[in-house]
Structure 1
């Protein structure tokens, strides 16, 4: 019931709730002993949404990128002056050669494609498995022409019978799907936490095994989403909807300080809108396929998991409270050191590195 309340509150505040959903919300709120302060939430919503959400996000990103530019300038000024007697051309030639080699290596790692074949397995049970490298992105075209982009360390599996009856794939990790429309053969994505059924659409799914949350973001079309822990409830997402699921399902804290307090530990199914900035070709939830890491008011704990996958490092925290710090910004070409320094420039924390181990304290 708590999950339904949060979904309906999100729809009401964004003005997207139908009359039936508004009645359902009112009935659910009457069943809760400590009712949520809906009038207060509406007032906060109106005040905080005077500026369009995308414009707010863009302003936050610009402020963060300005800090990155400052760090660039400091690093440039800190570099020792070049010896004017040293020939410049050979150095540029070496750098160019290294860049070319790096591109060749990156290209060779772009896709890892493993097809399992066993003579003892019936044809319909044979599977194809595609795994993205730990520091890269893989692009896959399925037998029906549907396209899939796999984020770092993600795995996609489908059977040889794909498309015979349904088009079913299994995903662990994160992927962007651009599905060819075929009403006769529904497309089904199964992850460790959610299942998604579509006919033809474009959507992003993040469902890494160890992540605290899973997320489905719909760019185009319509999808039916089932949370595997609550299979009796199906949720329909429309274009530009985003659903975030708390995988940990913590218990409701009965010791709330007052009726006006909403405990951030309440198990949430949060419905919101995807973030699309005008100059970007994709919403921030899918910018990873352009090798960009975008984050909006994301807690340090969740962001650390994304940094681990992006830079192939392990990040630990000395103090659990540090995981609650929130950041807004995005990275593209920054090293892990530069990324941490940029985050450090917005709030107070220290870190130390030992090879690929990073301790935040």
Structure 2
């Protein structure tokens, strides 16, 4: 049987409810029926039903239903001797109309909620994070292998591989992509996007870093800087592209260097660096738990040291930030690493628990 609440809701929407019935409905909803009977959403469906004549399916359904009801009503009215039965029948017909509409509304509501839940489930991303001071290795559904550097996060949807193989990255990762010409592989970061078929490359794009970097080891990739999407850049093996993440940083640096005729480019193309004794270029040596840096300024190197040693590094001397270093660390503790840097240039530091102040 249809719950009495539905009957009262039907009378309320049709304007046939008495003040007593409206009061009864309000009391029922206040007793906990509000969650089971979403009155506001049902009222919207009711209004749309009566105001929107463009929905032919709903209109035709109601017309066919009303024809049957009118036919039943006509047959009853032809029996003049049964006036009381006619009145009763008409009340039943009204009740059925309201009840049928409310059942339909409930079904529409259920389908809407189920569909929304299903869509949310389908597009809920799969997320993989690398721990601090650690590396995570994963294999995607297509067989592509991905290594995540410390503090990095990779996400992809359940539709991965249906049309394209799309993933998003925050942090640093090394990709060994399985070739599939029919399903391009796309990596999107907060600053750059990369499209490939089958290749090996390293991609770094941390939120707080001044630069993002893509270094290609094998194959070919098409790179797009998101703030300049109309320009596509093709990288070839052994090339890397460095992008300044914040245009304001570049503008400030250019003003400071204007007197000496230097300029900081927003995008810089160069070659990857690989020492003879290493199996990987310096841009990807983190895969072997090594921290390599090549003519890198102290500010950028400090970000790498923070992630590697899980410390916080602050500068109280702006000039020290611009000092440049080339080298490689593997098993050295942070104190020993800083002492090694001190042998090449003049700076001082102080360690207080997990915070390091450099001056």
Task: Give 2:156's aligned residue.
Answer: 158
In structure 1, how many angstroms separate the alpha carbons of the residues matched to 2:285 and 2:271? 15
Does the alignment pair 1:315 with 2:313?
A: yes
Alignment length, in residue pairs? 240
What is the Cα-based RMSD across aligned positions, in Å? 1.7
Task: Give 1:170's aligned residue.
Answer: 168
Higher Cα radius of gyration? 2
Alignment CA distance shift 1:160-1:295 (3 Å): same
Deviations 1:32-58 (A, max 9, x none): xxxxxxxxxxxxxxxxxxxxxxxxxxx
Task: Give 2:17's aligned residue.
Answer: none
Q: Per-residue deviation at 1:281?
A: 1.4
Q: Which has the bigger relative contact order, CA under 8 A and spacing at least 6?
A: 1
- SS of residue in 1 equivalent to 2:146: strand
| 1:208-247 equivalence runs, <5 A | 208-247=206-245
Q: Per-residue deviation at 1:255?
A: 7.9
| 1:322-333 equivalence runs, <5 A | 322-333=320-331
Task: Give 2:117's aligned residue.
Answer: 120
In structure 2, how many angstroms separate the alpha carbons of the residues matched to 1:228 and 1:239? 22
Deviations 1:117-158 (A, max 9, x none): xx9243531321000001100001000000000000000000
| 1:36-115 equivalence runs, <5 A | none
In structure 2, how many angstroms separate the alpha carbons of the residues matched to 1:177 and 1:257? 42
- SS of residue in 2 equivalent to 1:143: coil
Task: Give 1:18's aligned residue.
Answer: none
In structure 2, how many angstroms separate the alpha carbons of the residues matched to 1:195 and 1:206? 11
Normalised to the residue count of structure 1, the TM-score between the two structures is: 0.64
Task: Give 1:262's aligned residue.
Answer: 262
Gaps of 5+ in 2: 1-115
Normalised to the residue count of structure 2, the TM-score between the two structures is: 0.65
Q: Per-residue deviation at 1:254?
A: 9.2
Q: Per-residue deviation at 1:262?
A: 1.8
In structure 2, how many angstroms separate the alpha carbons of the residues matched to 1:308 and 1:324? 17
Task: Give 1:47's aligned residue.
Answer: none
Alignment CA distance shift 1:186-1:360 (3 Å): same
Deviations 1:167-187 (A, max 9, x none): 000000000000000000000
In structure 1, how many angstroms separate the alpha carbons of the residues matched to 2:296 and 2:256? 26
Gaps of 5+ in 1: 1-118
- SS of residue in 2 equivalent to 1:285: helix
Alignment CA distance shift 1:357-1:200 (3 Å): same
In structure 2, how many angstroms separate the alpha carbons of the residues matched to 1:313 and 1:257? 36
In structure 2, how many angstroms separate the alpha carbons of the residues matched to 1:241 and 1:188? 19
More helix by proportion, 1 or 2?
Answer: 2
| 1:130-149 equivalence runs, <5 A | 130-149=128-147
Task: Give 1:278's aligned residue.
Answer: 276
In structure 2, how many angstroms separate the alpha carbons of the residues matched to 1:203 and 1:145? 16
In structure 2, how many angstroms separate the alpha carbons of the residues matched to 1:157 and 1:286? 21
In structure 1, how many angstroms separate the alpha carbons of the residues matched to 2:158 and 2:257? 53
Q: Per-residue deviation at 1:247?
A: 1.1
In structure 1, how many angstroms separate the alpha carbons of the residues matched to 2:256 and 2:292? 35
In structure 1, how many angstroms separate the alpha carbons of the residues matched to 2:180 and 2:162? 12
- SS of residue in 1 equivalent to 2:137: strand
